[in-house]
Every structure is written in structure tokens, then in C-alpha cells.
Amino acid sequence: MTAPKDKHPGGRPLLFATAEELQEKVDSYFAMGGPAYVKLGDDYMYAPTMSGLALHLGMDRRSLTNYADRDEFFPAIKKARAKVEEALEQRLYGQSVAGVIFNLKNNFDWSDKQELAHTSPDGSMTPRPLDMTKLPPEVLEAIVKAGDAAADDK
């Protein structure tokens, strides 16, 4: 059985036929007074999000990510992501930043960096012997007492 002639052969048709059409819609999201501005009382706060952008474009976040995989749409999505990331990064200077940090870690590959040294300073895994002659006498006495106490416990 063959598919009807009017059915798109590669799944659902794209919402935007050209990169220019997508860029125009993205620009309208970020424009002054556009959906990226959230009303707070009498004021507006610039608070763009990837989910907000996706909704404005008529899709979900996953579809927006899929658009970025297409060469012709990649520059528009990359620039939009950079704008959202910048806005979030600027909010890190505010008072309540936990949600901002969560967003940056989950949507922009930020991470808490920890480095662990798995080698000794000389680059080997071999422990260096301790030069007991350089220890102060009180430290040596404490070591001897600790050793005597351990021997008494046996």
C-alpha cells in the first residue's frame, strides 16, 4: 500500500519553510514588549526561556532542539539560545539564583567543576616515604605514644 500523494514523505512538515521565516518569529519573541517580557506588577522583566521561545514558535522544546540540528536553522537557534543564556547569566547577580543555576545546568551544560588529583606530585601513583628526621620532637613522641597505645590494645 502506498502513501497518499499529499502526505509529507519524511514525517510532519516543518513549521517554518525558511531560516528567514524562523528568524523573524524568533526576533518577535525577544523584541521589546514581546513574550520574553514578563509583567511583574506595574513593571516588565526581561525573562526569556527556551520553553517560552518554543511555545511562541508553536512547538515544544524538543522540536526546537531538532530545528537546531538542521544546518539552515542552526544559526537562528544558536543565537536565540545565546540570548536566553545571557539573560539567565545576568540574573545570577540577583538574590534568588537557585532556579537560574538549575536552568543553566540543565539547558546550557553548565556544571559544578571539581578536580581530583589521582597522581602524586611527581606524576606517579607511588607514595613517597616520610622523612622522620624532619619532624619536631613532640610529633615523634606523639607517634610513639600512639603506637604504644595500639600495641597495648592487642
CB atoms under 10 Å from CB of 67, counted, come to: 21
- Do the bridges between strand 37-40 and strand 43-46 make them parallel or antiparallel, or are there none, so unpaired? antiparallel
Per-residue model confidence (pLDDT) at position 133? 82
Query: Looking at the predicted structure, is the pLDDT value of residue 7 above 80?
Result: no
Q: Is 11 left (phi over 0), alpha (psi -120 to 50) or beta?
A: left
Residue ranges per domain, the chain?
Answer: 19-107
Name which of 30, 104, 25, 82 is nearest 57 in CA terms: 25
Query: Looking at the predicted structure, is the pLDDT value of residue 5 above 60?
Result: no
Which stretches of 7-136 are DSSP H helices? 19-30, 50-57, 61-68, 74-91, 98-107
Per-residue pLDDT reduced to its tens digit, 37-68: 999 899 998 999 999 999 999 999 999 989 99
The radius of gyration of the chain's CA atoms, rounded to the nearest angstrom, is 30
**Nearest 5°: CA angle at 113, between 109 and 118?**
130
Is pTM beyond 0.85 here? no
Residue predicted with more confidence, 87 or 5: 87
* Residue 60: CA count within 13 A, CB half-sphere: 1
Per-residue pLDDT reduced to its tens digit, 84-110: 999 988 887 777 778 888 878 877 878
3-state helix, strand, coil in the chain (%, to 5): 50, 5, 45
